Structure 1
Amino acid sequence: MVPHTAYLPTIRDRGQAEIRVSTGFNGSELQAGYQASDKLILHAALLNYRNRRSGDGKGFRSADLGAGYYYAPPNGYWRLGGHAGVAYGSGTSGSSACFECVGTPGTEYEVRYTYAYVQPTALLQTTNQTWGFGLRMGRAYYHELTELRAEVLGGPILATSYAGHQGTFMQPTFQYSWRVLRWLAFSSSFGVQRFLNSSAAIGTVNPLVGQLGLHVILGKGAK
């Protein structure tokens, strides 16, 4: 399960929206957010990850949908709150760079999953900068988790199903964004996803979040 980048908003006012395009260790991602009220923010994301070590383009795709609620203390710098949401993803991962190469064959996993999460969030905002931290905590359910393995090269493929497996994970993520124009900001994100239980392996999946992003900010105050 490749992690989405936790959504940490740079928008600040009711009616504003942002679109963030980013890429990095956990693939390429498109995020969007809309501030529906002074406290309510809606967000969505699409993630595409490809295993760069594999020549067959295997990887993951997933979608994330959620909402956040924020409280702004009187000093005007901090915003404290959190997000909750759901995600769906599918793909193929492998414990070797090639499933049936010359030499010892590898193992790969066909995966389809959903998960729900909550995410306490803290933002420190100045005129042009935002420092953000989010701790995403969730529970994943694997509708499909099939291990494909060959004992010998060219031999029969053995399939073992772990469908129904569930896993609890935590994902702390830091983000720094710098607004160079009222409607444009750059950001960098870093985090890691860790499962608290792993009764079944799911192959080699990069747990790191490390992305550079570009935000386009629309609406009031973004001209």
Structure 2
Amino acid sequence: MNDRLDDLVRQAQTLDPARAAALGDPQLRQRLLQEITTMDTSPQPAAPPARRTWRLVAVTAATLAAAAAAFVLIGLPGQGQSPPAAATSTPASATPAPQGDVFGGSASCVETYSPQALRQRAFAFDGTVLAIGQTDPTKVETSPEVPVTFQVHRWYRGGQGEQVTVAMMPPGAITSAGDAGYGIGSRLLVSGEPRFGGRPLDDPIAWSCGFTRWHTATDAQTWQQTFA
């Protein structure tokens, strides 16, 4: 017991002002220190129960105080540890995926896009652009479109096979239909008609006015239901 009390006294006496402040109430710290340092540690006859109880309380309070000081000081910035760095995160700044009409504008349309109008198209598919050809210089005045080859993920109507080439306005072409902003790797929902009639893929041309759209899960589901 004497060794333990000596150790507690040493801990209390070596606290610097900054560490002592971490213990809380200054009056309580002073009173507790006085009780510890003035405690009679010489051998004495057995004390009555009340005396033994008080001594136990005093020792317990001192132990708790020392433990509290150690606990608080471990977490105090500037007392042997650096404060944890503030967590930082850089929000993603990805451009939202495009949606709606690939040509991004309005024009004088024969039909306005709707599920009912879409159902009348000769061909329709979900595909990713693999290649974009050049405008035929001999037809540029009457047919400014370019051949665009697609990897087909799903046929909704009018064709079969893994690839198909259809005529479309070239990327970046600004016309009355808008600006075709697609490119290699773009995934689109494409529908249209054969240019001069006939079977669905006889010189097929993709329609604008919303009938050729950026692929989204919502539109793909609409197309699936429309052509079911």
Normalised by the shorter chain, which TM-score bucket?
under 0.3
TM-score norm. by structure 1 comes to 0.21
**More strand by percentage:** 1
**More helix by percentage:** 2
Which has more radius of gyration? 2
TM-score norm. by structure 2 comes to 0.21
